[in-house]
Amino acid sequence: MLPKKVMIFPPNSLILYDLVLRFGHKPLAIMSKIGEKVRNPEIDSPPINITYEEPRHGVKYCAVEVPSGVRGRMALLGPLIEEAEAAIIVDDPDISFGCSGCARTNELVIQMLYEKNIPILRLRYPRNNDEAREFVRSIVKFLKSLNGDKG
Amino acid sequence: MTVRIAQISCGTEYSGIQGEVYRAAEITGMHIVFPEIDTDDIKRAMDVIGLYPASTGLRVMLARALAVAEGRVEVDGVIVMTCFRCAEGALVRHTIRRFLHKTTKIPVISYSFTERTKAENLLLRFEALVNMIERRTLLARKKHEGLTIGIDSGSTMTKGVVMKNGEILAAYWLPTIDVVTSGLRVYEELFKKTGMSKSQVEAIGVTGYGRFILGKELKANLVQEEITVCSKGAAYLGNAQESYSTIIDIGGADNKAIALYEGVPYSFTVGGICAGASGRFLEITATRLGVDLMTFGELALKGDHRKIVMNAYCIVFGMHDLVTALARGARREDVAAAACYSVAEQFFEQQFQEVEVKEPVLQIGGTSLIKGLVKAFEDTLKMKIIVPPYSQFAGAVGAAILSSALAKSS
């Protein structure tokens, strides 16, 4: 089986990114998009080189009356959702686990992922060690299942 | 002196305007700092402030506000910014502003932005915030001395006054066509009216949107933004320099609500995204009714705004509603009243949610002469509105007063 493109949510979670990578898939994360922006020497719009063009491009994913911060985020996240072949969504995570910063963006991204009818694993953020073990176990099982491995 | 300002915001990076914030800060001599916080501070800030927003970015804002309130970061002022149209952001913005006013003496301004916000949109606000901090002593000046001229170069009208030891000797205004030409005409007219010579003038103060170019032309002693200057003029004219007061200024293209203590602003808000609550809307409506603005104000006093259905605050759609009402046979008085109430209600719903309204409430600017508008504000706020004498010249008076502190003889 070919590796799958797996969207992670929160979109900047290093733990999810690492897990997806370890099991042979391609994580779709916002870091890659921001990295492209920051490394672009032609744009000088500190701190992450987002200009007013991004919120305008975000209109592809949400209406213009949606706040500019949501549209700016969607300009980066929208193309990742389009690419996604699977997704792992973690609800109510600790801020140190990752976050998009905006609850409205979260709602929209999750809805768009469901709309794609791709395999989705949705989990609650673990609150203790036992839950954490089960959390990782579920993710590993899901990632393996994307390879056709039922184990 | 560099003024340290804490930026407490959500969405400025993803809206692509953080660079514009930095640019406006650099022009106005501000050093922007982001109060450092720990992840543990976030939960504590929500518990202390009593607000639990869903967005993490807004939770971080609360934690940064708590850092300022607890003195863990040394700043001279605070700007609170969230995305325009974000309801949750607006709640957090208002809460932080009230929280900081209650817990600190630091001036706080708030702003909701779009991706189109440019440094130029922020300059007036930032400049005023810097002046509130850097020129605190100057702004505390309560009296006028000597012979000075103040000119307010507004977007619609240019206004000027000559003051001598606290008394207004002459006042003159005309429509702004070209900033310098209109400013110089007002300047010359003041000499004609008083018969004084230019050598007698001890200082000149210039404010308003054309202040830089006109101030340079007149070699003004004081060139200062209109928020702090109009506040001084309004408090002086309204005899409100001893305690709290609130100012309403419906300008040609924007509007301002300013909260003062002893004649010095401690909080303000400037409308800048929609011109629906501006003098321009009233001017267009008056033109459509075929009357001048003063007659328009008298008409509005006789009208009943409830008889006109206005579904939009937008200047274009609002006009459309009024024109439709006229076509259906509505009375001109009712249409004029509806336009005045539209401005007052929009101002109340937007600007007065951002500043504390404390009496006396002073209305200034050319639109304060529109009687129907003043009544609409009284009805909307359920408060007495005071229109001080020379209210349309408040900016010019403020400039004359503040410049008198910079006169050679002072």
Whether B52 and chain A come into contact, CB under 8 Å, resolves to no
Does A73 reach chain B within 8 Å, measured CB to CB? Answer: yes
Q: What is the pLDDT of residue B376?
A: 95
Q: Are residues B130 and B147 in the same domain?
A: no
Question: Which B positions 94-123 lie with beta carbon below 8 A of chain A?
Answer: 113-116
Domain tally, chain B: 3
Q: Which residue of B has its CA nearest to A74?
A: B14
Asked whether residue B122 falls in the same domain as residue B152, the answer is no
Interface residue of B17, B40, B115 to substitute, partner A, most A CBs within 10 Å: B115
Average pLDDT on B146-154 reads 96
A13 touches chain B (CB under 8 A): no
Q: Are residues B251 and B370 in the same domain?
A: yes
| B25, part of any domain | yes
Is residue A151 pLDDT above 60, yes or no?
no
pLDDT tens digit string along A55-81?
A: 999 999 999 999 999 999 999 999 999
Instruction: Note the pLDDT of residue B408.
Output: 64
Could you tell me if B53 lies within 8 Å of chain A, comparing CB atoms? Answer: yes
Distance from CA of A51 to the nearest CA of B (A): 4
- The three-state secondary structure class of B382 is coil
Residue range(s) defining the domain that contains residue B68: 3-134
Q: Is residue A83 part of a domain?
A: yes
Number of Cβ pairs closer than 8 Å across A and B? 100
Dist. CA B24–CA B17, nearest whole Å: 11
CB contact under 8 A, A67 and B116: no
User: Could you tell me if residue B236 is inside a domain?
Assistant: no
Burial status of residue B389 (CB atoms within 10 A of its CB: 0-12, 13-18, 19 or more): exposed
Q: Is B299 within 8 Å of chain A by CB?
A: no
Nearest to B16 among A45, A99, A101 (CB): A45
pLDDT of residue B311: 67
Domain that holds residue A127: 5-146
Distance CA B60, CA B298 (A): 50
Are B42 and B162 in the same domain? no
pLDDT of residue A45: 82
B409 occurs within a structural domain: no
> Is B52 a member of any domain?
yes
Mean pLDDT value across residues B115-121: 91
In a domain, A71, yes or no: yes
Structure tokens, B104: 């600190």
Which of chain A's residues have a Cβ under 8 Å away from the Cβ of B18? Answer: 45-47
Is B358 inside a domain boundary?
yes
pLDDT band at B386 (very low <50, low <70, confident <90, very high): very high
B322 — pLDDT class (breaks 50, 70, 90): confident
Residue type present at position B143: K
Mean pLDDT lowest among A8-17, B136-145, B251-260 = B251-260
Residue B318 inside a domain? The answer is yes
Do B300 and B353 have their domain in common?
A: yes
**Residue among A102, A106, A108 with most chain B CBs within 10 A, to mutate:** A102
* Residue among B16, B60, B83 whose CB faces A52 most closely: B16
Do B279 and B362 lie in one domain? The reply is yes
Q: Token digits for B120?
A: 């130029």
Nearest CA to B21 out of B90, B121, B132 is that of B121
B48-57, B259-268, B298-307 — which one is most confidently predicted on average? Answer: B48-57
- In terms of domains, do B33 and B163 share one? no
B264-268, B297-301, B371-375: lowest mean pLDDT where? Answer: B264-268
> Could you tell me if B44 lies within 8 Å of chain A, comparing CB atoms?
no
**Phi and psi, residue A9, nearest 5°:** -145, 120
Contact at CB, B57 and A46, closer than 8 angstroms: no
Asked whether residue B234 is domain-assigned, the answer is no
Percent of chain B whose predicted confidence (pLDDT) is above 70 = 97
* Residues 216-245, chain B, touching A (beta carbon < 8 A): none
3-class SS at B88? helix
Query: What is the pLDDT at residue B325?
Result: 87
Has residue A138 been placed in a domain? yes
For the ranges A49-53, B103-107, B233-237, the lowest mean pLDDT is seen at A49-53
DSSP B11-47: STTTTT-HHHHHHHHHHHTEEEE-----HHHHHHHHH
Residue B312 confidence (pLDDT): 64
Instruction: Give the gap in angstroms from C-alpha A46 to the nearest C-alpha of chain B.
Output: 5
Q: Are B269 and B256 in contact (CB under 8 A)?
A: yes
Confirm whether B294 is domain-assigned. yes
Q: Where among B76, B109, B134 does a domain terminate?
A: B134
What pLDDT sits at residue A150?
Answer: 58
- Write the pLDDT tens digit of every residue in B37-47: 999 999 999 99
Query: What ipTM was estimated for this complex?
Result: 0.92
The average pLDDT across B89-99 equals 94
Give me the count of residues in chain B.
Answer: 410
Q: Three-state SS for B244?
A: strand
For B59-73, write each residue's pLDDT tens digit.
999 999 999 999 999
Give the CATH number for residue B71: 3.40.50.11900
Domain boundary among B86, B110, B134: B134
| Complete DSSP assignment for A58-127 | GGGTS-TTS-HHHHHHHHHHHHHHHH-SEEEEEES--GGG---S-HHHHHHHHHHHHHTT--EEEEEPP-
What is the CATH classification number for the domain harbouring B318? 3.30.420.40
Instruction: Pick the last residue of a domain from B106, B134, B162.
Output: B134
**Do B56 and B105 fall into the same domain?**
yes
Please judge whether A66 and B85 are an interchain contact, meaning their C-beta atoms are less than 8 angstroms apart.
yes
At B277 the pLDDT is 76
pLDDT of B115 over the 80 cut: yes
Identify whether residues B252 and B368 lie together within a single domain: yes
Nearest by Cα to B260 from B240, B274, B277: B240
pLDDT bucket at B151, cuts 50 / 70 / 90 = very high
Nearest chain A residue to B90 by CA distance is A67
* B13 and B66 together in one domain: yes
Residue A36 structure tokens: 């492209």
Confidence of residue B159 (pLDDT cuts 50, 70, 90): very high
Whole-angstrom distance, CA of residue A91 vs CA of residue A88 = 10
Mean pLDDT of chain B: 92
- For residue B276, give both structure tokens: 């629906």
Residue type, A136: V
Q: Angle of helix A30-39 relative to helix A68-83, nearest 10 degrees? A: 110
Residue B155: Cβ within 10 Å count: 17
Q: Could B16 and A55 be called an inter-chain contact, meaning their C-beta atoms sit closer than 8 Å? A: yes
Residue A54 in domain? yes
CB distance A26 to A2 below 8 Å: no
pLDDT value, residue B158 = 96
Contact B115 A54 (CB under 8 A): yes
Nearest CA in chain A to B112: A67
Q: Confirm whether A151 is domain-assigned.
A: no
A68/B22 CB distance under 8 A: no
Contact B282, B347 (CB under 8 A): no
Together in a domain, B292 and B186: no
How many domains in chain A? Answer: 1
pLDDT category at B346 given cuts 50, 70, 90 is confident
Across the beta sheet with A120-124, the strand order is A26-28, A5-9, A86-91, A120-124
Distance CA A21, CA B120 (A): 45
B14 and B114 together in one domain = yes
> Residue B313: is its pLDDT beyond 80?
no
pLDDT of residue B410 exceeding 60: no
Instruction: List helix spans (H) across B136-278.
Output: 136-139, 179-194, 211-217, 226-237
Query: Is A54 in the B-facing interface, judged by CB distances under 8 Å?
Result: yes
- Cα–Cα distance list, B193 to A82, B160, B161, B214 (Å): 71, 12, 10, 21
Distance from CA of B26 to the nearest CA of A (A): 14
- pLDDT for the residue A134: 97
